[in-house]
Amino acid sequence: MAIKFQYNKTSLQQLEKQLKVRVRTLPIIKNKESALRMEVKRCKEEAAELEERLETQISSYEHMHALWNEFDASLVRVKDVHLGVRKIAGVRVPLLDEVEFDIRPFSLFCSPKWYADGIHLLKKLAQTAIEREFALAKLDLLEHARKKTTQKVNLFEKVQIPGYQDALRKIKRFMEDEENLSKSSQKILKSIQEKRKEAEE
């Protein structure tokens, strides 16, 4: 990215101001990136743990496979999912507050007595599956924010700050050269005037 500038004091001051802003902002962005990196790692672990828990729960009910064929799965449905929002390093992520289930009435006399346990097990499975989905959604948001922040850190560190420093160096050299030329031309002019005076005298 080429930084546009002019060889004058106004441009020099503007570039110095821009450079100061970036140098001051860089540590803040780096802190944000490391916080997001840690949070992404924690979130990955949480998602993996929930995935494992879900697999364990499903496999522990496999031996009751024949009974599940008799079970009416429409008795339990998710009525509502209550969400919260939390900011992690400036990124708004959804939080799962509570999962509300709607249990359809069923006859305790006509249904097998294990139906109540079946409903409880199904609720646990659904709760874990929903928690896992939220963990994955949170992970996606945090991963996206971390990538963006890393790009910004790289932009500041590798492109903009060196670019502004280079532009400032060029302007200062140009202004020094201009000043030196001005001084030397004044000296030449002075020496010419002195020689004229001597010639007149």
Q: Which tens digit of pLDDT belongs to each residue from 156-166?
A: 999 999 999 99
pLDDT at 34: 93
Give the residue from 163, 171, 161 showing the smallest Cα distance to 6. 171
19 occurs within a structural domain: yes
**Confidence check: pLDDT of 99 > 90:** no
Distance CA 132, CA 140 (A): 12
Is pLDDT larger for residue 193 or for residue 116?
193
Tokens of 27: 């540590």
Residue 2 within a domain: no
Q: Is 114 inside any structural domain? A: yes
Q: Which pair of structure tokens corresponds to residue 146?
A: 């971390």
- Residue at 1 is within a domain: no
Which two three-digit tokens encode residue 184?
């030397």
* Averaged pLDDT for residues 175-179: 86
Q: What is the reported pLDDT for 146?
A: 94
Look at 6-10, 38-42, 117-121, 183-187 and tell me which has the smallest mean pLDDT: 117-121
Give the pLDDT confidence score for residue 81 in this predicted structure: 85
pLDDT of residue 4 exceeding 90: no
Which pLDDT score, from 0 to 100, does residue 125 have?
A: 87
User: Could you tell me what percent of the chain has a pLDDT over 90?
Assistant: 33
CATH number at residue 132: 1.10.287.3240
Is 80 inside a domain boundary? yes
- Quote the pLDDT of residue 66: 63
- pLDDT band at 108, cuts 50/70/90? low
Q: Is residue 46 part of a domain?
A: yes
Q: DSSP label at 35? A: H
Residues 120-134 pLDDT 10s: 888 888 889 899 998
The pLDDT mean for the chain works out to 85
Domain count of the chain? 1
Instruction: Dig out the tokens for 78 from the structure.
Output: 């998710």
The pLDDT, as a whole number, for residue 132 is 92
Residue 40 lies in a domain: yes
Element (H, E) at 40: helix 9-60
Q: Which letter, b or e, does each residue of 139-158 get, where b requires 16 or more Cβ atoms within 10 Å of its Cβ?
A: bebbbebbeebeebbeebee
Domain range for 75: 7-195
**Predicted confidence (pLDDT) per residue in 37-86, tens digit:** 999 999 999 999 999 998 888 887 776 666 666 666 777 888 888 888 88
Q: Does residue 157 belong to any structural domain of this protein?
A: yes
Residue with tokens 């850190």: 153
Greater confidence, 56 or 116?
Answer: 56
Backbone angles phi, psi at 136, to 5 degrees: -70, -40
pLDDT number for residue 11: 86
Residue scoring higher pLDDT (145 or 76): 145
